[in-house]
Structure 1
Amino acid sequence: MILRRTLLVACTAIAAAASMATTPAAGRSRAGATKTPGTASLHLAPAREQLSALRRRTVTSRDLLEQYLQHIARTNPALNAVATLDADGARAAADAADRHMAETGKPLGALHGLPITVKDALETRGIRTTCGSPDLSAHVPDRDADAVALLRAAGAVIVGKTNVPVMCQDIQTSNPLFGTTNNPYDGTRTAGGSSGGAAVAVAAGITSLEVGSDLAGSLRLPAAYCGVYALRTSAGIVPTRGHVPRPPGWLTSSDMLTLGPVARSAEDLEVLLDVLAAPSPADAAAWKIDLPAPKHSRLADYRVGVWPDDPRCHVDRSTRQLLDRVTELVRSAGATVDDTTRPVNLADSDRLFQRLMFATASATATDAGFADDVAAADKIPADDPSGLFLHSRTMRHRDWLRANEEREKLRDHWAAYFATHDVLITPAAPTAAVEDQTATPVPGRWITVDGEKRPYFDQTAWLNIAGHVRLPAVVMPAGKTADGLPLAIQIIGPHLADRTVIDVAKHLARRLPEPVRPPAFTA
């Protein structure tokens, strides 16, 4: 059945890719890159090398784009990472970038002429934006999401949109419009979600950079499963207007949502962070975002907490061994290591996370649907664990204010922790990529950890630590299983220490084995 489904998805994707290619827009050297490709395969180089070549004019944006389009044609049918391709619009933008450079001798911006893809939850002017929902199958925005506008202002060339689950409401990536996005290492495993298409595109060399979104690990889980880097940015440093959901046209978004970069190296995360970290347009006249430099320049100077496992969400043998190796690596580098650290109670933190997540998701419920939720919640005792979803979703504003106060106290607790620790390293997930279960309704899904059946959403329990308390967190590849699947760790830092968590990832990448790359990367 898995083979039949995979072949069906691949065939559907081939047909869709052929159609999209002719349809107008409407419709690792060390630290993460492979050995530097020649000009003819520059699209596989790190983003910073591509940008350098574009500025030196040793390659044109149009030539680089054509390399990408050919690679997409070869690899996307089997992966189904790109949902909507805007080849014509991208060619026009690349040509405009080349003309500008020829006429002025200056780049358009930090991303001058760089072809990239964008998650199909971010509105893109003139390019179909569906968020995987049939209700938005014909939605072509006339305005960019604020983050997309920042990309264009920096000179990026938007090639297309990457696949998501319907309205980003799953941690696997599949929808009725475009089908399932396949893990590039093993087609029977999930790519994660909701930024599954984004992570697969980066892993497979379809793009060097992506912008994804993260509420409950939606950016970091796919990165962990696909062997790439991702940064959940500190809350408030990247504008989120234009992210679906909320519905198109809304000016607000979830108070727990952040946008951040996906890349194949920590250095490339920083390239995109420098573009995305900006105030919203309404605030840009009065202030700017100037993130602090990394806390230290040497790994030996860092004070590192390591939380390798927890009874609330045990990790499997491979992941625990990975954390043990990373711990010894950090200690051997001379850093101060605290591997008994437990900054919060994982179960209590996760429960608060869930309450706040369920509450914020209620904003877009229909009046009738919300009324039904209220009626159903009233029938469940307040202390009944089975009522967590409904009671959280329908809580009164006074109850939300108290939950938010609990969050602020937890943030204070984290601030006190980071007064004595610079970063915290944790697992990214309990296991490597789990089996794809997109054909099974969520209530029937589970994961297996060392032979033990565990709840489906345990996949994100470690990622949720950072989400509601607005902390930056990098997920990076740090090893692999005996079967060759990527294994990842998470690096969490204090609020606004985005450059610090990236810096620690850079130091670790120089000491860890090179990440395994999927076959599609050099296809």
Structure 2
Amino acid sequence: MTDIGLRSTVEQADLIQRGELSSRELTEHFIERIERLDGEINSVVTRDFETALAESDAADASQQKGQSLGVLHGVPITVKDALQTKNLKSTGGATELRDNVPSQDAAVVASIRRQGGIVMGKTNLPRWSGDIQAYNDIFGTTNNPWDISRGPGGSSGGAAAAVAMGFTSFEIGTDIGGSIRFPAAFNGVWGHKPSFGVIPTTGYLDHIDGGLNEADINVFGPIARSAQDLELLLTVMKRNSPPWVAELEAAPEDLKDLKIGAWLDDEFCPIDDEVREQLEKAVDALEKDGISVDRSARPELDPDEAAMLGLWLVQRAISQSTDSDGPGHRIWLDQHVRREELKLKWAQFFDTYDAVIMPVCFVPPFEHQQQGDFGSRTLICNGEKRNYIDVVKWTTMVGMAYLPSTVPPIGLGASGMPIGCQVVGPYGGDRLTIALAGRIGDLMGGYQPPPRAL
């Protein structure tokens, strides 16, 4: 893979640090790719190339003086438009914020900048990050780089499409019901949903007055072209200052010492044959690599109950800042108790298993669906109509329990579309899930650019 724009963040940053590539050269390269290739994808919807070039020149001047700005010195990126970016339009995909220009960065964006990162622009999303696709009334529709008749997943769909196309070094996504995991899987890139609370989420625009508080379940995390990128970016992005500092368990020294579960299908949300085939191939590859996998492993919970409770909690988290007529305190407490019981069952499962491999979505990337609400839409799975809301069943039961989940690309399905899985671990086991997902992805071919990116 010779195109520098398609290489990993780790490689790009190393080339800049060693003086073999200037920040300006990399920034100009991304700008050229965006201007030439993004017309049919529509992923980078707000652009600030002039400022990015000025900052890249400043980074190069520092480099010439022997001064490093950090591990991301001079690395240009784009940011999902759900995050506040100082002096750069930040809309949340909502017309109410069409002209909103924040005076400060989201905390995680500030962390990226402190390590030398340069923000070139913002990527597309659904209104208030509220769909598994990426379209809104300001910027229109983002298309999947592998097939523009299909969506890129959501809500961080523009982010993952930009990473897949080589428009940015990496991206910052958000995930409350699968919004990092769906796009990573649908675009053939890597994504990490961290344990809840590990990365600060202030500066998140999910309603008109958003940005000040941190919503339940919601997390920010990296989307990139390698597992090594996820590991680096987790370190950069995690909380490192009072009142709360994130301490994560170290990655295992030998993956062959792990006991892994594989929960690849279930009658509560049956998986499309195309997805199931790739999941089976990924597990087969792990076993051939000498890693123990138990295909009968299941947490002792009712998956329907867990998924529906997860959906209820996600809906409450999304509406908590704007819905004055939400559930009463007693109802919320009852649901919270149920959630704590399910979290305990997950914890008991991880007393026996180190991680579990699960589907992200029951179908491969699907064609654009923008008519009607969630309840009225349907998807086709193995020739049968299924409710659109089923897409979140495999993701919400993980998110509501605050667990880390890493998505590696595991190849193309029979339709020629990317498929991913999620590697889920115990709370705080982020480095473990990244390491295991890294091995799975490597065995299955890793990131492969879509033909449009070449």
What range describes the TM-score normalised by the shorter chain of this pair? Answer: over 0.9
- Residue 345 of structure 1 deviates from its aligned partner by 1.9
- CA distance in 2 between counterparts of 1:286 and 1:401 reads 26
Give the one of 64, 67, 72 matched to 1:102.
64
- Residue 324 of structure 1 deviates from its aligned partner by 2.0
- Residue 78 of structure 1 deviates from its aligned partner by 0.9
Larger Rg over CA atoms:
1
**One-letter code aligned to 1:203:** A
Q: Describe the SS at the equivalent of 1:479.
A: strand
Q: How does 1:95-494 map to 2 (within 5 A)?
A: 95-103=57-65, 105-248=66-209, 250-279=211-240, 284-285=241-242, 288-294=245-251, 296-343=252-299, 344-365=301-322, 370=325, 394-494=326-426
Q: Describe the SS at the equivalent of 1:309.
A: coil
**One-letter code aligned to 1:173:** A
Task: Give TM-score, length-normalised by structure 2.
Answer: 0.96
- CA distance in 2 between counterparts of 1:214 and 1:229 reads 14
**One-letter code aligned to 2:60:** D
Quick one: structure 1 residues 249 and 458, their matched pair in 2 at CA, closer, same or farther if it must change by over 3 Å? closer
Deviations along 1:248-286, whole A, 9 cap, x unmatched? 46421311100000011111111211110114xxxx246
Is the contact made by 2:77 and 2:169 (CA closer than 8 Å) also made in structure 1? yes
Unaligned runs of 5+ in 2: none
Q: Describe the SS at the equivalent of 1:48.
A: helix
**One-letter code aligned to 2:250:** A
* 2:25 equivalent to 1:63: yes
- Residue 440 of structure 1 deviates from its aligned partner by 4.7
Q: Describe the SS at the equivalent of 2:162.
A: helix
Which range is displaced more, 105-114 or 296-305? Answer: 296-305
Deviations along 1:279-312, whole A, 9 cap, x unmatched? 4xxxx24653332111x22332110000010111
- CA distance in 2 between counterparts of 1:287 and 1:440 reads 42
Is the contact made by 1:247 and 1:364 (CA closer than 8 Å) also made in structure 2? no
Is the contact made by 1:473 and 1:490 (CA closer than 8 Å) also made in structure 2? yes
Which range is displaced more, 396-405 or 492-501? Answer: 396-405
Quick one: structure 1 residues 448 and 287, their matched pair in 2 at CA, closer, same or farther if it must change by over 3 Å? closer
Match of 1:32 in 2: none
Deviations along 1:81-139, whole A, 9 cap, x unmatched? 01100011111211121122222x13101111000000000000000001111110100
- CA distance in 1 between counterparts of 2:295 and 2:210 reads 47
**One-letter code aligned to 2:268:** R
**One-letter code aligned to 1:291:** L
Quick one: structure 1 residues 55 and 516, their matched pair in 2 at CA, closer, same or farther if it must change by over 3 Å? closer
Which protein has the bigger helix share? Answer: 1
**One-letter code aligned to 1:455:** N
- CA distance in 2 between counterparts of 1:185 and 1:158 reads 26
Q: Describe the SS at the equivalent of 2:100.
A: coil
- CA distance in 2 between counterparts of 1:246 and 1:314 reads 34
- CA distance in 2 between counterparts of 1:63 and 1:407 reads 50
Give the one of 38, 41, 44 matched to 1:76.
38
- CA distance in 2 between counterparts of 1:351 and 1:519 reads 38
- Residue 213 of structure 1 deviates from its aligned partner by 0.1
Q: Describe the SS at the equivalent of 2:320.
A: helix
Match of 1:379 in 2: none
CA RMSD of aligned residues (A): 1.5
Is the contact made by 1:224 and 1:487 (CA closer than 8 Å) also made in structure 2? yes
- Residue 181 of structure 1 deviates from its aligned partner by 0.1
* 2:432 equivalent to 1:500: yes
- CA distance in 1 between counterparts of 2:411 and 2:6 reads 21
- Residue 439 of structure 1 deviates from its aligned partner by 4.3
**One-letter code aligned to 2:173:** G
Q: Describe the SS at the equivalent of 1:501.
A: helix
Q: Percent identity?
A: 38
- CA distance in 1 between counterparts of 2:315 and 2:33 reads 40
Q: Describe the SS at the equivalent of 1:77.
A: coil
Task: Give TM-score, length-normalised by structure 1.
Answer: 0.84
**One-letter code aligned to 1:521:** A
Deviations along 1:401-449, whole A, 9 cap, x unmatched? 2211221221121111111100000111112101111245444311110
Unaligned runs of 5+ in 1: 1-34, 371-393
- Residue 482 of structure 1 deviates from its aligned partner by 2.1
- CA distance in 1 between counterparts of 2:177 and 2:429 reads 20
Is the contact made by 1:231 and 1:473 (CA closer than 8 Å) also made in structure 2? yes
- Residue 69 of structure 1 deviates from its aligned partner by 0.4
Which range is displaced more, 174-183 or 332-341? Answer: 332-341
- CA distance in 2 between counterparts of 1:415 and 1:60 reads 47
- CA distance in 2 between counterparts of 1:416 and 1:363 reads 30
Deviations along 1:180-201, whole A, 9 cap, x unmatched? 0000011111111110000100
Deviations along 1:3-36, whole A, 9 cap, x unmatched? xxxxxxxxxxxxxxxxxxxxxxxxxxxxxxxx3x
Quick one: structure 1 residues 251 and 170, their matched pair in 2 at CA, closer, same or farther if it must change by over 3 Å? same
**One-letter code aligned to 2:124:** N
Is the contact made by 1:486 and 1:516 (CA closer than 8 Å) also made in structure 2? no
Moved over 6 A (4+): none
Which range is displaced more, 115-124 or 441-450? Answer: 441-450
- CA distance in 1 between counterparts of 2:130 and 2:312 reads 16
